[in-house]
């Protein structure tokens, strides 16, 4: 297993390098990532390349026995480049040029930027492509992050128009599919079609969605340009990856991943001015997304938070135990390598308060000791553990295009795609159900339950796949706003839930967006929800049951005859429709019933105690992760004799885990 640090030798005096490397040696790391922001060092003037600094650093790092991941430095185009080629700069949706002074100041649609990127990548590949210490490359850094996923300049507009012409062929076809007859927007020429810079009102939703698709394709092509360039010059043993940041950007990480050997991810459970970390389920979701991005392949955490992070705002200080807990959580869910961000807090520049293993004074203290404890704790079992399998019984559907459609028209000021996705993911996570996050192109038959939350932008192919899955005996759970849009982001002319009405056994004639401080009440009247009452928010589909059984209705004098939650038998399978923003309690009750009926294994555990199973031919592994900052918990264990993979201590029946404790247990099959 690789475990290491993100290091910036260029930011420290050479006489400090050996001190750092000796401290890293004592820590027990074996990999270092460098150079991802070093363009102005390696190309100080256009066409002049100078690798001396990194040559010296790489030789020294190599002498200390560490392997190296090299970053291509295209996230920080140098000042000379921007001075000479200002057309590289991105433009925001107000038409304002995003100037030089930070990072990610480029649009991937600039031909000039593509040429200059290709050249620095080529020169780096030629120079380091056979270096024995260089095991791989990280192309660029966090594509699309910090609002850089979309650019609205002239080069982008021309590229968008070309993209549209390639997609539609005939501008009249675009007019028909976008409905440009609305508000007299019919186009007679591709050059009339704008990138969606600000207007007084709101752009055509079909244009907006295609613009996001275009931005995503642009990043996929740009990444491919770098990968194909590197591949010409680097040893085939050197891997190529990219460090993604969360979902929701105008990029298709699964498409980009097709050109990478594996993906990487930057794991920051707390960043900037956040007062507390995001929830354990929210962190887990990101790892499950990563695991799904390359169809279950392991990924690297190329940046694992090691200290309080932020620029001009910082917040929560990770407590003793968090660093190991978040490391173990990531590895439990598919991370095969952990690289801690960053080795030492920078004394200058925007990230003076992005703290690291060491802080500004360079002295090892608590965080250093914690990383050492983590590395020592993993030493005896990590390689087998990360080689084991994570098997899932439940699938959660996610499609970036659906997320973009929701970003375009959230409809309620309370709607947030990730929060609503978590409304359906979190209760299963709390039950320690093993889940995968899947796209429409995946095989559903290996799952006992498929959860399809907020399936607003639908895909005919997936609709048909869902129908077949249910007919064959599968169980699907839909949510409110299912079936509304087609792939052009146009509203269906069928009664909601559109193409899926027959499958769900319902119709939705009216619905209501619940705004801030608005809620409704529902009551369970049949099946698993009988006798329960709950407050619901964000949205209400006032459902008319057709063939479906009503499990809950609205406890509202106007809509008491409308269904809120239904269950339909279709073929050999079952379809649930959760027509509102249901409470966690009701979701838990519903899931308990569904997972029992479908024999999906689940384990109760105290709130904030996460249990993740992995298995290989010889062993079962059980990660017990206590995210509770205040309290320890007694955790009931599955039957058998369990062994702490680090200490060898034996457990059966239960385990007392301290606050922020994390442990991996193993049991011979
Ligand atoms: C991101 C970037 C890093 C750094 C950290 C700070 O993940 O990749 O370069 O900015 O955030 O937390």
- Ligand 1 centroid from CA 311, angstroms: 10
Res 437 pLDDT > 90: yes
> Which pLDDT band holds residue 530 (cuts at 50, 70, 90)?
very high
DSSP output for 604-661: ---TTEEEEEEE-SSEEEEEEEE--SS--EEEE--SS-EEETTT--EESSEEEE-TT-
- Out of 36, 43, 142, 403, the active site residue is 142
Res 517 pLDDT > 90: yes
Res 617 pLDDT > 90: no
Residue 232 is inside which H or E element, if any?
A: helix 205-233
Mutate to test the pocket of ligand 1, among 35, 75, 103, 142 (most ligand atoms within 8 A of CB): 142
Check if 110 has its Cβ closer than 6 Å to any atom of ligand 1: no
Q: Note the pLDDT tens digit of each residue in 98-143.
A: 999 999 999 999 999 999 999 999 999 999 999 999 999 999 999 9
Residue 336 is inside which H or E element, if any?
A: strand 335-341
- CA end-to-end span of the chain, whole Å? 24
Res 246 pLDDT > 90: no
Per cent of the chain over pLDDT 90 is 99
Q: Whose CA is nearest to atom 9 of ligand 1?
A: 141
CB proximity list for 115: less than 8 A, separation 6 or greater: none
Which atom of ligand 1 sits closest to the CA of residue 271?
12
Domains of the chain: residue spans and CATH = 2-163+219-386 (3.20.20.80), 394-597 (3.40.50.880), 609-668 (2.60.40.1180)
Tokens of 553: 């209705």
Average pLDDT over residues 573-578: 98
Check if 138 has its Cβ closer than 6 Å to any atom of ligand 1: no
Q: Note the pLDDT tens digit of each residue in 74-102.
A: 999 999 999 999 999 999 999 999 999 99
Contact 251, 176 (CB under 8 A): no
Contact 131, 115 (CB under 8 A): no
Res 308 pLDDT > 90: yes
In 3-state terms, the chain is what percent helix, strand and coil (to 5)? 35, 25, 45
Mutate to test the pocket of ligand 1, among 306, 354, 355, 357 (most ligand atoms within 8 A of CB): 354
Which residue in 481, 507, 513 sits closest to 495, CA to CA? Answer: 507
Q: Which long-range contacts (CB under 8 A, 24 or more apart) does 606-611 make?
A: 606/633, 606/634, 606/635, 607/430, 608/280, 609/633, 609/635, 609/657, 610/280, 610/284, 610/329, 610/429, 610/432, 611/432, 611/635
Q: Whose CA is nearest to atom 12 of ligand 1?
A: 309
- Ligand 1 centroid from CA 466, angstroms: 39
- Out of 157, 303, 370, 544, the active site residue is 303
- Ligand 1 centroid from CA 29, angstroms: 20
Quickly list H helices, 379-526: 382-387, 400-408, 417-430, 460-471, 501-504
Res 247 pLDDT > 90: no
According to the model, what pLDDT value does residue 514 have? 97
| pTM (predicted TM-score) | 0.98
Per the prediction, the chain carries an average pLDDT of 97
- Ligand 1 centroid from CA 338, angstroms: 15
Average pLDDT over residues 651-667: 97
- Ligand 1 centroid from CA 144, angstroms: 13
Check if 489 has its Cβ closer than 6 Å to any atom of ligand 1: no
Contact 312, 295 (CB under 8 A): no
Q: Note the pLDDT tens digit of each residue in 584-593.
A: 999 999 999 9
Check if 354 has its Cβ closer than 6 Å to any atom of ligand 1: yes
Place of tokens 């932020």: 310
Mutate to test the pocket of ligand 1, among 38, 266, 270, 352 (most ligand atoms within 8 A of CB): 266
Beta partners for 523? Answer: 533, 553
Q: Note the pLDDT tens digit of each residue in 163-217.
A: 999 999 999 999 999 999 999 999 999 999 999 999 999 999 999 999 999 999 9
> Which pLDDT band holds residue 604 (cuts at 50, 70, 90)?
confident
- Ligand 1 centroid from CA 104, angstroms: 12
- The verdict on whether 303 is a catalytic residue reads yes
Q: Note the pLDDT tens digit of each residue in 31-64.
A: 999 999 999 999 999 999 999 999 999 999 999 9
According to the model, what pLDDT value does residue 234 have? 98
Check if 309 has its Cβ closer than 6 Å to any atom of ligand 1: yes
Query: Where does residue 183 rank: exposed (0-12), middle (13-18), buried (19+ CB within 10 A)?
Result: exposed
Per cent of the chain over pLDDT 70 is 100
- The verdict on whether 610 is a catalytic residue reads no
Check if 303 has its Cβ closer than 6 Å to any atom of ligand 1: yes
Average pLDDT over residues 133-159: 98
- Ligand 1 centroid from CA 81, angstroms: 23
């Amino acid at each position: 297993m690789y475990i290491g640090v993100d290091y910036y030798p260029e930011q420290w005096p050479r006489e400090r390098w050996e001190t750092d490397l000796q401290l890293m040696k004592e820590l027990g790391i074996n990999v270092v990532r460098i150079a991802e922001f070093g363009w102005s060092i390696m190309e100080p003037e256009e066409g002049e390349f100078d690798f001396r600094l990194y040559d010296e650093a790489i030789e020294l790092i190599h002498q200390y026995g560490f392997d190296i991941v090299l970053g291509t430095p295209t996230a920080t185009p140098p000042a000379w480049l921007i001075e000479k080629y200002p057309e590289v700069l991105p433009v925001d949706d107000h038409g304002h040029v995003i100037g030089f002074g930070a990072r990610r100041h480029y649009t991937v649609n600039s031909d000039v930027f593509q040429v200059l990127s290709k050249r620095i990548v080529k020169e780096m590949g030629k120079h380091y492509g056979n270096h024995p210490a260089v095991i791989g490359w990280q192309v660029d850094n966090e594509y699309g992050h910090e609002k850089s996923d979309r650019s609205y300049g002239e080069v982008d507009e021309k590229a968008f128009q070309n993209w549209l012409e390639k997609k539609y062929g005939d501008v009249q076809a675009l007019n028909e599919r976008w409905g440009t007859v609305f508000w007299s927007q019919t186009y007679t020429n591709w050059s009339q079609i704008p990138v969606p810079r600000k207007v007084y009102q709101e752009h055509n939703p079909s244009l907006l969605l295609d613009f996001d698709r275009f931005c995503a394709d642009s990043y996929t092509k740009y990444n491919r340009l770098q990968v194909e360039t590197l591949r010409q010059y680097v040893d085939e043993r050197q891997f190529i990856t990219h460090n993604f940041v969360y979902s929701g950007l105008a990029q298709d990480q699964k498409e980009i991943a097709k050109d990478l050997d594996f993906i990487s991810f930057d794991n920051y459970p707390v960043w900037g001015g956040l007062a507390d970390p995001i929830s354990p389920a929210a962190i887990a979701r990101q790892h499950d997304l990563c695991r799904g991005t390359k169809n279950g392949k392991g990924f690297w955490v190329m940046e694992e938070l090691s200290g309080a992070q932020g620029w001009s705002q910082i917040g929560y200080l990770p407590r003793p135990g968090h660093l190991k807990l978040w490391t173990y959580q990531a590895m439990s869910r598919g991370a095969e390598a952990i690289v801690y961000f960053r080795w030492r807090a920078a004394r200058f520049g925007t990230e003076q308060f992005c703290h690291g293993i060491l802080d500004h004074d360079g002295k090892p203290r608590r965080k250093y000791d914690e990383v050492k404890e983590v590395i020592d704790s993993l030493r005896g079992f990590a390689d087998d553990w990360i080689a084991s399998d994570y098997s899932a019984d439940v699938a959660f559907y996610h499609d970036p295009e659906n997320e973009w459609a929701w970003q375009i028209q959230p409809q309620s000021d309370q709607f947030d795609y990730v929060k609503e996705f978590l409304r359906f993911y979190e209760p299963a996570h709390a039950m320690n159900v093993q889940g995968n996050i899947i796209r429409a192109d995946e095989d559903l038959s290996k799952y006992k339950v498929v959860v399809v939350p907020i399936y607003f932008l639908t895909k005919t192919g997936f609709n048909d796949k869902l129908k077949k899955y249910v007919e064959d005996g599968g169980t699907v759970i839909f949510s409110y706003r299912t079936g509304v849009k087609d792939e052009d982001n146009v509203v269906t002319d069928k009664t909601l839930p559109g193409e899926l009405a027959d499958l769900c056994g319902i119709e939705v004639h009216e619905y209501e967006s619940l705004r801030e401080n608005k809620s409704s009440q529902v009551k369970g009247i049949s099946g698993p929800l009988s006798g329960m009452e709950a407050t619901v928010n964000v949205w209400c589909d006032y459902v008319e049951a057709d063939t479906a059984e009503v499990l809950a209705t609205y406890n509202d004098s106007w809509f008491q005859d409308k269904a809120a939650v239904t269950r339909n038998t279709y073929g050999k399978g079952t379809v649930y429709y959760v027509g509102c923003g249901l409470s966690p309690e009701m979701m838990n009750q519903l899931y308990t019933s569904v997972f029992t009926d479908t024999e999906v294994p689940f384990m109760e555990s105290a709130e904030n105690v996460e249990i993740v199973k992995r298995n290989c031919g010889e062993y079962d592994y059980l990660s017990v992760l206590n995210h509770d900052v205040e309290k320890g918990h007694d955790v009931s264990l599955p039957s058998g004799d369990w062994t702490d993979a680090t200490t060898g201590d034996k457990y059966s029946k239960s385990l007392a885990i301290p606050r922020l404790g994390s442990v991996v247990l193993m049991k011979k099959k």
